[in-house]
Structure 1
Amino acid sequence: DGGLYLIDTPGINEVEGEERERMAHEVASRADLVLFVVDSDLTDVELKALRMVTNTLRPTLLVVNKADRYTETEQRQLRAILRERTHGLIAPENLIFTTSRPTRQVVIQVDENGEEQENLRVRPVEVQALKTRLWDILEAEGKTLSALNASLFAGNLSSEIGQRVLEVKQELGQRTIRFYCLAKGVAVALNPIPVADILAAIALDVTMIVHLSRLYGLPMSRTEAGELIRTIISHMLLLVGITWAINLASSALKLGTGGLSTILTGATQGAVAWYSTLVIGNVAERWLANGKSWGDSGPKFVVQQIIDSLDRDSVVSEAREEIMSYLKKTIKNQTG
């Protein structure tokens, strides 16, 4: 009752790679049935696109057009080659040969006087095999195809919505992590006692992870958050021990000045704390986004990925500048 609609797309070889993949996926995800048209053996590009289309679970016909260019023997050979190359992708009955726009054929006729005359003859259009197969599919599976397409479309829509929700959570998560990076950096910079630095750092990291867990709808207790932090830090110590050496050196400098630090020293210490919270926050967010799972590779791999994605020197430098700016404004407001 809804009618039959045809969507024609540019040839696979007429568009660039990314656009081709997007187009193939987009069209296939909206169609009940796909006609994949070629005029010879499949190129690597066409075979890749065909795999992409069949992966959408839509029924697909492989149509070889311009069949009139081949002799019967050549058609049999081409059919055998295509069946072998598309095994598992295209059912044998869904490999169809057609001639939608026949080529003109030169026919030489000899008249009664023995003179030759050339005439052009147009071969007949040959699409009956395709029509028959389409009708067979529509009669046997028409309602099933529509239902299948509707369910797959709903599934795609659900996936798209889920992906968008995840993106929003990640955006909010990054804002949350940045907030705690600044809070921890300033707290450490202002606190002249190294032991108190550590206590403040741990407390803020725990609070950050509890906050992130609620954002992802997977609430954690402070005890659970503390255990997660211990797991992350243990791998950080193995992977970036130098960062913690800088942290300890800065703490020692504070002790050497009787627990009193300059703005620069405090900001440097705070910047290192900022970096550690940035790593911890991103690792925790990755773990939460994956449903409280490290995946097959384990926590060390995730920590390594996050560390590799960050330019430590740039992060520490920018963090130090921001902390110094914050401290100077605070001092100015207090003295003003």
Structure 2
Amino acid sequence: PLKALAEIGKRSILVLNKTDLYTDADREAILARLRERVRGFISTNDVVSISANPQSVELESGEMVEPEAEILPLLRRMAAILRAEGEDLVADNILLQSLRLGEEARKMIDAQRRRQADKIVDRFQWIGAGVVSVTPLPVVDLLATAAVNAQMVVEIGRIYGCELNMERGRELALSLAKTIAGLGIVKGALELVSTALQLNIGTFVIGRAIQGVTAAYLTRIAGKSFIEYFRNDQDWGDGGMTEVVQRQFQLNKRDEFVKAFVQEAIAKVVKPLADKAAEIIEEDERKV
């Protein structure tokens, strides 16, 4: 803690208390060890010894005497520091408080942006699910392209102060869709969603429902990846787009998330499809 304080510009005095319990030799030995341990970030002169609340002493007569506190070394050192560095210490403290306020403000803005960006991802994942469910794709590999919506990219970018046109949005969307497909995440997502849906509703779900929910899942991975990209000033980091996408896939494979996601998917994708199928069957039976 003392070293950390020194690193952020905080001045410290290290105080050895209860020196009345030690002999002079022991006290000096302890002070020497302390000064050695903090050398480099606390000055030797800033390591002092005091006795703030000395123990009572019994005299030969049996009378108990309360020795006076010995805190003069600390007071002298504090006075010397304030005389020599008082203005600088005040300025440093004001600067540190300003930096802390700036950091807190940055965190608040980042949290607000993330909430707004998450809402965009949530909206587009169910839009994509609805479109794919109504018009299933002949080739599952196309799911990645269908899931990464250029408009979603543009809207997330806008949240982070990046004004993109639709052409640039499409370029980024296509690039990320290719990364998702190239990493085999489409197949992994299909298997994950299929298994989760079957476990939750107890029957095999029609292919279009699985495709729709998978599209929503892939949209989420893409959206979360773009949030990281824009949060870092349009930079994918040292590992590039691939590492960011893989990390988001791993984060969104956690059991607790998958369970909650599937329950929402059943309500927003599977149930509407099942209701529509029931209506068609009922209509056909009437005709017969």
TM-score range, shorter chain: 0.7 to 0.9
Residue 149 of structure 1 pairs with residue 101 of structure 2: no
Q: 1:319 aligns with which of 265, 269, 272?
A: 265
State whether residues 55 and 67 of structure 2, in contact with CA within 8 Å, keep that contact through their aligned partners in structure 1: yes
Query: What corresponds to 2:185 in structure 1?
Result: 240
| Structure-2 residue corresponding to 1:289 | 231
What is aligned with 1:168?
112
State the 1:199 CA deviation.
9.0
Letter in 1 for 2:252: L
Q: Which one has a larger percent strand, Structure 1 or Structure 2?
A: 1
Match of 1:273 in 2: 215
Change in 2 beyond 3 A, CA 1:119/1:193 = closer
Q: 1:159 pairs with 103, 109, 116, which one?
A: 103
The 1:67/1:196 distance shift into structure 2, 3 A limit, reads closer
Structure 1 residues 63, 194: closer, same or farther in 2, change over 3 A? same
- Structure 2 partner of 1:82: 34
Aligned length in residues: 267
Q: Aligned partners of 2:245, 2:145: CA distance in 1, in Å? A: 19
Give the deviation of 1:320 after TM superposition. Answer: 4.4
Equivalent residue for 2:2?
50
Cα offset for 1:164? 0.5
The amino acid across from 1:285 in the alignment is: I
Structure 2 segments unaligned to the other structure (5+ residues): 195-204, 283-288
More helix by share: 2
Match for 1:73 among 25, 37, 40? 25
Whole-angstrom CA distance in 2 between matches of 1:216 and 1:202: 24
2:197 corresponds to: none
C-alpha separation between the residues in 1 aligned to 2:52 and 2:144? 76
Question: After superposition, where does 1:50-129 map in structure 2 within 5 Å?
Answer: 50-108=2-60, 117-129=61-73
| 8 A contact 1:173–1:215 mirrored in 2 | yes
CA-to-aligned-CA distance 1:150-201 (integer Å, 9 cap, x gap): 1211111111111101101101111100100011110111114537994995
Distance 1:105 1:298, change over 3 A: farther
Change (3 A) 1:150 1:213: same
**Alignment match, 1:194:** 138
Q: What SS class does the counterpart of residue 58 from structure 2 fall into? A: strand
**Contact between 1:186 and 1:327, CA under 8 Å: does it hold in 2?**
no
SS in 1 for 2:57: strand
Q: Secondary structure at the residue paired with 1:96? A: strand
- Preserved contact between residue 12 and residue 42 of structure 2 (Cα < 8 Å): yes
Q: Give, in whole Å, the separation in 2 of the partners of 1:281 and 1:316.
A: 18
How large is the RMSD of aligned CA atoms in angstroms? 3.4
**Per-residue Cα deviation, 1:217-246 (whole angstroms, up to 9, x for no partner):** 022233433343344344433252523666
User: TM-score normalized by structure 1?
Assistant: 0.69
> CA offset at residue 145 of structure 1?
1.7
Matches within 5 A, 1:252-263: none
Cα 1:220–1:196 shift into 2, 3 Å: farther
Is the CA contact 1:177–1:282 (under 8 Å) kept in the aligned structure 2? Answer: yes
Give the conservation status (yes or no) of the 8 Å contact 1:180–1:204: no
Uncovered stretches (5+) of structure 1, i.e. residues with no partner: 1-48, 109-116, 250-262
Matched letter for residue 25 of structure 2:
T
Alpha carbons of 1:300 and 1:326: their partners in 2 closer, same or farther (altered >3 Å)? same
Output the CA distance in 2 between the equivalents of 1:69 and 1:95: 18
For 1:176 and 1:119, locate their aligned partners in 2 and report how far apart those are by CA, in whole Å.
Answer: 79
- TM-score normalised to the size of structure 2? 0.79
Identical residues among aligned pairs (%): 25
